[in-house]
Every structure is written in structure tokens, then in C-alpha cells.
Amino acid sequence: MYIIICMHIAEQVRSLRLSLGLTQSQLATLAKVSLPTIQNIEAGRANPGLDVVERIY
């Protein structure tokens, strides 16, 4: 179940970022998180906390 949740979040973050025309670096800057955080979320290797999700969305 954990993997499914991570992959769903990954797809949603990537879709949102692309729809806004942002690079991973730009999204990281806007959300005030590190670039590796965004990269790991989009790759499904990280399940972000609620605080990070709120900053991304």
C-alpha cells in the first residue's frame, strides 16, 4: 500500500509541476524544499509529510 501511495503522490506532483510549466528546480524553490526532495517525491522514493505537500500544492 505504501508504494501505491508514493507512486500516486509522485504522479500528482509531476502532473501539477508540468501543467504549471515548472522545472523540478523551480518547484523546489517555490515550495521551499530541496531539489533532491522533489526528485525523490517524483521518483516515488519519498512519501512527503503533510507540511511538504501543503507547500507544493
Domain range list for the chain? 2-56
The per-residue pLDDT of the chain, averaged, comes to 93
Q: Which is more confident, 2 or 14?
A: 14
pLDDT band at 29 (very low <50, low <70, confident <90, very high): very high
Closest Cα partner for 38 from 50, 54, 27, 22?
27
The whole-number pLDDT of residue 12 equals: 95
- Above 80 in pLDDT, residue 2? no
For residue 5, pLDDT over 90 is answered with no
Mean pLDDT of the region 28-50 = 95
Q: Give CATH for domain 2-56.
A: 1.10.260.40
pTM of the model as a whole: 0.89
